[in-house]
Chain A
Amino acid sequence: DAKTTQPPSMDCAEGRAANLPCNHSTISGNEYVYWYRQIHSQGPQYIIHGLKNNETNEMASLIITEDRKSSTLILPHATLRDTAVYYCIVRVAGTGNQFYFGTGTSLTVIP
């Protein structure tokens, strides 16, 4: 039951902003949008999450459209170490509603 759709792969030039899109057209009003990334041979790493408002932290920014049917993760100045698979997950905050990972977007940052 795929709740999110992401492009399978993207490239980004080093130093430029990486904009990773995610469609979640069936999202419910109480479902959060979470972003994780997985660098080869490591466990998934939490990046950011949000409900309605745009969010920013030291790693990235999350832009959620007003209708909440899509979102974009922005890495403002991509580095080679940002090369990873990025997962967009929607989830209701509460017990019994767990994190299900799709296939994600494989981001390659090019020197």
Chain B
Amino acid sequence: DAGVIQSPRHEVTEMGQEVTLRCKPISGHDYLFWYRQTMMRGLELLIYFNNNVPIDDSGMPEDRFSAKMPNASFSTLKIQPSEPRDSAVYFCASRGGVSSPLHFGNGTRLTVT
């Protein structure tokens, strides 16, 4: 099992540009989560999906952020337009059953200049 795969590992962009982060969950996992980590705020849950349907997006900071899961093996987190304060490490995670643990990818480090 390859684990949760995120791309790119690093992204540097200028303020105002669109950023798209990608995630491939572990096969068979029906929950997918997007987290953001910063020094100031730690790990924050942004949104999660169950069977490709967004269940709770209350952690999404602003309308500039959007997430989609078009199928069971792929999800995107988009920021448009990006701002310097969006600089962080963004993690994707997936899990199987409701009591199963989360499995995280290695994250995308986003820097917005």
Secondary structure of the A side of the interface? Answer: loop
Give the residue of A34, A36, A45, A93 whose beta carbon is less than 8 angstroms from that of B98: A93
What is the bound-complex CA distance between A36 and B98, given in angstroms?
Answer: 17
**What is the size category of the interface that chain A forms with chain B?**
20 to 34
What is the bound-complex CA distance between A32 and B99, given in angstroms?
Answer: 9
Closest to A102 in B: B42
- Asked if residues A43 and B42 are in contact (CB atoms below 8 Å), the reply is no
Give the residue of B33, B50, B106 whose beta carbon is less than 8 angstroms from that of A42: B106
Chain A residues with Cβ under 8 A from B98's Cβ?
93-95
Chain B residues with Cβ under 8 A from A102's Cβ?
42
Secondary structure of the B side of the interface? Answer: strand
Answer yes or no: B45 CB below 8 A from chain A CBs: yes
What is the bound-complex CA distance between A75 and B50, given in angstroms?
Answer: 34
What is the bound-complex CA distance between A42 and B106, given in angstroms?
Answer: 5
Q: What number of residue pairs across chains A and B have CB atoms under 8 A from each other?
A: 45
Chain A residues with Cβ under 8 A from B99's Cβ?
32, 93-94
Answer yes or no: B93 CB below 8 A from chain A CBs: yes
Answer yes or no: B25 CB below 8 A from chain A CBs: no
Closest to B97 in A: A93
What is the bound-complex CA distance between A107 and B66, given in angstroms?
Answer: 35
- Asked if residues B50 and A95 are in contact (CB atoms below 8 Å), the reply is yes
Interface residues of B, Cβ cutoff 8 Å to A = 4, 33, 42-43, 45, 48, 50, 55-56, 91, 93, 98-99, 101-107
- Contact sample, A vs B, 30 pairs, CB 8 Å cutoff: A32-B99, A34-B101, A36-B101, A36-B102, A42-B106, A43-B4, A43-B104, A43-B105, A43-B107, A44-B91, A44-B93, A44-B102, A44-B104, A45-B104, A46-B102, A46-B103, A49-B101, A95-B50, A95-B55, A95-B98, A96-B56, A98-B45, A98-B48, A98-B56, A99-B33, A99-B45, A99-B102, A101-B42, A101-B43, A103-B42
